[in-house]
Amino acid sequence: MDLEDYLSGQVLLIDKPLKWTSFQVVNKIRWLIKQQFGIKKIKVGHAGTLDPLATGLLILCTGKFTKKIETYQAQIKEYTGTITLGGTTPSYDLESEIDQIFDITEITSEEIKGATQQFIGEIQQQPPIFSALKKDGKRLYEYARAGEEVEIPTRTIHISEFEITNIEMPNVEFRVVCSKGTYIRSLAHDFGKALNNGAHLSALRRTKIGDFSVADAVGVLEFEEQFKK
């Protein structure tokens, strides 16, 4: 592709590395394009953030296609990952330490598989306090890190598929297909509650956004290598 392709608009499918923020990926890709073509400015944005501890599909739009970002954000998403039973964390994932431990010896595979049914369809979900959502002009994680309590309203989401793919206690592997605005960390936390236990998200990978698949995505380093050919 030449510069005009990027300026007129491209959809780039990037496989986000672990521990990178979505913003870091956007910055890196923007920098690579600017370096490659010796330009000072180009628009690059992502269509839906991924947490640093998640990997997988990140849709980036360049140039005039940044106007299409909201269209891609609204599409159905698919994730795979691991929920670890027996312990909760304030962030609902491994970003924070386990704060409460539960006994998991009585939980059966049938109960685990059956609990997924409580989350199919249109449900109310409370986003995690450790999130970038804003309330009264501040991001929720700012309240969390300051130790301040804040009331978080629930939101309506839709989960069309929630499948348990493997169980090796305390780890439960899953696949979920859901609407925009779904927090998989909250799903993991609520899943623990549904089992009268505790749980947190220990691994997450976004595999699809609409018709786009991570199988067609490239890593950041691969994208950089393409410019060298």
> C-alpha distances in angstroms, 165 versus 63, 72, 172?
40, 27, 8
Using CA atoms, how far apart are residues 92 and 183, in angstroms rounded to an integer? 10
139 burial level (CB within 10 Å; 0-12, 13-18, 19+):
middle
- What are residue 85's DSSP bridge partners? 199
The token pair at 40 is 């000072």
Q: What angle do CA 126, 129, 133 make, to 5 degrees?
A: 80
Annotated catalytic sites, by residue?
Answer: 51
What SS3 state is found at 227?
A: helix
Question: What is the Cα–Cα distance from 200 to 99, expressed in whole angstroms?
Answer: 11
Beta-bridge partner residues of 122: 158
Query: Which two structure tokens, joined as six digits, stand for 227?
Result: 């410019």
* Distance from C-alpha of 179 to C-alpha of 159, rounded to nearest angstrom: 6
